Amino acid sequence: MTVRPQPSAPSVSSVEIDHRFDAPLDVVWRAWTDPERVSRWWGSDPDGVVTSAELDVRVGGRFEISFRDPSGEAHTSRGAYLRVDEPSVLDFTWSWESEPGAESRVTVELAGDGDATVMRFVHGELVGVSAHDYGPGWRRTFGKLDAVLADER
């Protein structure tokens, strides 16, 4: 009898980030759901520029956001909204145009805390097929959002 090793299942991982924004809940919600506001902060490259943002923020609605990094390379992220509970929960699928078939899931939970907002962010169902380093990328992205929110005060 020959025993053959079984192929291992791909490991599933997630990125979990707790972040506090110095802005009221309604302002942070709009930053996630208004295309014009999303255009100010989306993308992990500090010098990247959003070239288009289309958001249909409702269950079953879709989003597509494109941006260009300083080298001129274009990137497009897209997905579908699975849950929208204004102003506290967004749950959506996530994929990159450049990585077909590598779909994951993002959950954003927001809670007011006085004049601030606490966010629980989970990017899950990462099966190891993406070339992106999501943890540092999302942290840089939220740093950009912090700066945008500070400018609006």
One digit per residue, pLDDT tens: the chain, 153 residues? 444 444 444 555 889 999 999 999 999 999 999 999 999 999 989 899 999 999 999 999 999 999 999 999 999 999 999 999 999 999 999 999 988 888 999 999 999 999 999 999 999 998 765 667 888 999 999 999 999 999 877
Residue ranges of domains in the chain = 13-152
- CATH C-level class of 13-152: alpha beta
**Cβ count near 91 (within 10 Å):** 16
pLDDT at position 131 is 60
> What pTM did the predictor assign?
0.88
Give the strand pairing for 89-96 and 49-55. Answer: unpaired
pLDDT at position 129 is 58
- Cβ atoms of 145 and 131 closer than 8 Å: no
**Cβ count near 45 (within 10 Å):** 17
